[in-house]
Amino acid sequence: MTMRIREIWLAAVAVAAAGATLTFVQVKERLEPMKERVPTSHQADGFAGYSSAPVDRKLGLVFLHHSVGEHWLADPEGVAGNAHGNGGGLRRALESNGYRVRDATYGSRLGEKTDLFDWQPKFADHLEEVLHIAHQDNVLPEGERSQIVLFKSCYPNSYFKAQGSEPGNPNGPELTVANAKASFRALLQVFARAPETLFVFVTTPPVAGGTPRERLGKVLVKRLLGRPLAAERLIQQTRLAREFRDWIIAPDGWLASYALKNVVVFDYYDVLTKHSTSLFLEYPSGDGRDSHPNTLGNQAATAEFVPFLNRAVRRMGLGG
């Protein structure tokens, strides 16, 4: 056996013994213990002092979202109406609590582009248009507008690429923690110019924990070149996603120096990880590898979101 063949053979044995199994199991089963969960911003800010009862006046709410948001708004299967297999019943719950629900998603001018770096230019340049959305590109009658803007990026925004370097670039385009923080700091400057509007950021949902299997030959090449396996790369990406989420909701994070009460964070990520230290979606759909939350996850989010919103509205002084 030549030296080169022997080297490859030893590497293959090492991969089979130590690394290859990581690609054939759900990654979450191999995670190191995470730090304790950071209290959510609304808990830290004393939201509990406000009533969670339905609001006393009809308030317009516009939700900018993509597929996960569409599922969350929809009724669960078996309920008459706009049902979906992953339905969370959010629209119906909001309407029963006094809100007029409007939304825009794929296929509309303002509903497209909901990645983390899209929010700052969208709201800076098109906020008045957003507030007048009826549905998709249809606008509200003259004199009507929404008082609440709910916005959420979809789960691909949990695939962070790197830590990045401070102070970061608010325009990205690389999805790093530093760039995402810079973008959201810039976003607060836009929100401060609209103190009469309540902005609700819904934290980006986590991804499902299954990782694609890799052929042994590909694993071997990666090991020889010192490159991370797909499973290892996924852990790196989702750890960074949690780091950004922790900063968004931490008392000393995104909103620490923001004086107004018109920006709040609903921790959808935390609900979908079952309030745990998991890096992954605990309510996957399909075969367990689909990152769209299933109906149980979305219903759990609805149960927490509606009273949260009622408190946030009263805290701001909109709810009567």
Domains along the chain? Answer: 3-316 (3.40.50.1110)
For the beta sheet containing 148-152, the strands, ordered from the edge strand earlier in sequence to the opposite edge, are 138-139, 133-135, 99-104, 59-64, 148-152, 198-202, 263-266
What's the pLDDT tens digit per position in 230-242? 678 889 999 999 9
What's the pLDDT tens digit per position in 35-83? 444 445 555 566 878 999 999 889 999 999 999 999 999 999 877 678 9
Beta bridge partners of 290: 285
| pLDDT computed for residue 93 by the predictor | 97
190 pLDDT more than 60? yes
Mean pLDDT throughout 273-298? 95
Task: Decide if 81 contacts 91 (C-beta within 8 A).
Answer: no
Task: Kindly list the distances between the CA atom of residue 110 and the CA atoms of 201, 206, 235, 263, in Å, as whole numbers in the listed order.
Answer: 16, 24, 33, 20
pLDDT exceeding 70 applies to what percent of the chain?
Answer: 79
20 pLDDT more than 70? no
Compute the C-alpha angle 313/316/320, nearest 5°.
60
Mean pLDDT throughout 22-31? 40
Mean pLDDT throughout 130-153? 97
DSSP secondary structure letter of residue 292? E
88 pLDDT more than 50? yes
Mean pLDDT throughout 126-136? 98
Which residue has better confidence, 131 or 28? 131
The torsion defined by the Cα of 139, 145, 149 and 154, in degrees rounded to 10, comes to: -10
| pLDDT computed for residue 265 by the predictor | 97
103 pLDDT more than 80? yes
Task: Decide if 248 contacts 152 (C-beta within 8 A).
Answer: no
187 pLDDT more than 90? yes
Mean pLDDT for the chain overall: 86
| pLDDT computed for residue 44 by the predictor | 52
Both tokens of 153, joined, read: 């990026």
- How far apart (Å, rounded) are the C-alpha atoms in residues 182 and 63? 23
